[in-house]
Amino acid sequence: MEWRELWEHLGWPALIVAGVLIVMGVASSAVFVERLWALRRSRAASREFAAIVARTLRPDTIAQVLAEAYRLSAGHLARLVGSGLTMYRDAMAGLDGPGMTPVESMRRELERRTAELVADLKRGLPVLASTGSVAPFVGLLGTVLGIISAFRGIAETGSGGLSAVSAGIAEALVETALGLAVAIPAVLAFNYVATQIAHDQLALTNAAGELVDKIERWGEAEGAAVAGGRR
C-alpha cells in the first residue's frame, strides 16, 4: 500500500521519467527473451544439420545437403553451409564467372555469409547495451527532478521540515532505485547473450574452415585419381 501511495503522489516529471525507464526495461526484457529463444532454436537446428552433413556430404550428395539446409534454415550453420555449397555448385557449373576457382569462390562467399549471420545473431544487442548504460542516467535525471521538487517544497512552506521535503526526496529515491533496477538486469543480460553469441560465432568460423578443407580434399582426391588413371 505504501508503494502505491508513493506512486500516486509522484509528480508529472517523475512519472514521465519512470515511464521511460519502464519502457526501457520492457524492451530489454523482450530482446533478452527473444535472443535466448532464437539461439536455442538455431542451435537445435544446427546440431541436427551438422549430424546430417557429417554422414552425408559427398561430391554426389550436394543437392541432398542443400535440401536439408533449406529445411533446417532456422539454424545459422545450415544457412552458412547452404550458401557455401550453393556457390561451389554454381562455380563448378561455370555460373560464377571466370577468374576464381570454385573453392576460392566458396571461401569468399563463406566469409561474407559469416559476417551476415554474426550480425543477425547480434540483432537486438544495442537495445540491451543502451539500456544498461543509459538507464542509470535516466534514473539520475529523476533524482535531480525529485531534489528540485524538495527544494520547491521548502520554498513554498518557508521551512525545511520533513513534511516539506519528504515528497521530493521520495521521488528522488524511487527514480534512483528504478533506474538501477532496469540497468543491472540489462547489463547482466547483455554480457550473457554476448558470450553465447561469441561461442556461436566461433562455431560458424570453424565450420566454414572445415567445409573449405573438405572441399579442397575432394579436389585433391579427384586430382590423384586422374593422375593414377593416366599412369
Q: What is the signed CA dihedral for 162, 168, 169, 170, rounded to 10 degrees?
A: 100
Q: Which pLDDT belongs to residue 225?
A: 44
Condensed to tens digits (0 to 9), the pLDDT of residues 49-78 reads 999 988 888 888 889 999 999 999 999 999
How far from chain centre, in Å, is Cα 44? Answer: 17
Cβ–Cβ < 8 Å for 146, 16: no
Q: CA–CA separation, 143 vs 138, rounded Å?
A: 9
Instruction: Name the more confident of 174 and 79.
Output: 79
Q: Which pLDDT belongs to residue 220?
A: 57
Residue among 38, 36, 32, 24 at smallest CA distance from 188: 32
Condensed to tens digits (0 to 9), the pLDDT of residues 190-229 reads 999 999 999 999 999 999 999 999 888 876 555 444 345 5
Condensed to tens digits (0 to 9), the pLDDT of residues 93-143 reads 776 555 678 889 899 999 999 999 999 999 999 999 999 999 999 998 888
**DSSP characters for 187-218?**
HHHHHHHHHHHHHHHHHHHHHHHHHHHHHHHH
SS3 of 58, please?
Answer: coil
Q: Is the pLDDT of residue 164 over 70?
A: no
Instruction: Name the more confident of 174 and 68.
Output: 68
Q: Which pLDDT belongs to residue 226?
A: 39
Q: Is the pLDDT of residue 144 over 60?
A: yes
Q: Is the pLDDT of residue 7 over 90?
A: no
Q: Which pLDDT belongs to residue 64?
A: 92
- What angle (nearest 5°) sits at the alpha carbon of residue 31, between those of residues 28 and 32? 85
